[in-house]
Amino acid sequence: MEKTMPIDGRFELMALPYAAEALEPVISANTLAFHHGKHLAAYVNNLNAALPGSGLEGLPLEDVVLKAEGGMLNNAGQILNHNLYFGQFRAPKADNVPTGVLAEAIDKDFGSFEAFKEAFAKAGATLFGSGWAWLSADGDGKLVIAQEPNAANPIQRGLHPLMTMDVWEHAYYLDYQNRRPDHLAALWQIIDWDIVAVRYQG
């Protein structure tokens, strides 16, 4: 995984790789404006404010996640989580499925893409409170689905994160209110499987 380096001791708010309206109607421009422009921006500002004197200045974001504790860990983890989340989308597409080596791995480890989606949706829907559902690869390349609470990231457990769905209410409440499963089901239309495949093979 390519590491995220600070510039002059500060992490930057990631630029969205698509227009604010590009993910509609799955994720509205309004939700993106708050989720990326307010929530993620706050995590970036909080971490940057905490870095001086922490002993973790100059480290890549991924190393901060592995070494920090408390509030610094929460903010660093949320930046890493959101960078992976916002970086994996593109405009809605019907019949949006993975291809190539990644598709073969999904079939091998979950039986089929449909079975994978069902297991992943269940992980997202049943995660109590705030957190993230993840598709990751272990050290042998085997794919695993996991729930991570709050700001946790699979790298803390030695896994390589590939794709994620944010189940914090701030990710969907403006568009879906309490209907988290409906939001998660819609997200399959905008997953950029080419990017997930690059993460898998990278």
Q: Is residue 176 a contact residue for Mn ion (CB under 5 A)?
A: no
From CA 173, how far away is CA 197, in angstroms rounded? 29
The answer to the question of residue 120 lying near Mn ion (CB under 5 A) is no
Residues 78-97 that bind Mn ion (CB under 5 A): none
What is the closest distance, in whole angstroms, from the C-beta atom of residue 119 to Mn ion in the complex? 22
Interacting stretch for Mn ion, rule CB under 5 A, among 17-25, 93-101, 156-164, 171-179? 171-179
Contact range with Mn ion by CB under 5 A, out of 56-64, 68-76, 100-108, 159-167: 159-167
- Write out the DSSP string of 38-105: IIIHHHHHHHHHH-TTSS-TT--HHHHHHH--HHHHHHHHHHHHHHHHHTTB-S--TT----HHHHHH
Place of tokens 């946790």: 152
89 versus 168: smaller Cβ distance to Mn ion: 168
- What is the C-alpha to C-alpha distance for residues 30 and 65, in angstroms, rounded to an integer? 29
- Note whether 166 binds Mn ion by CB under 5 A: yes
Binding site for Mn ion (CB under 5 A): 166, 168, 171
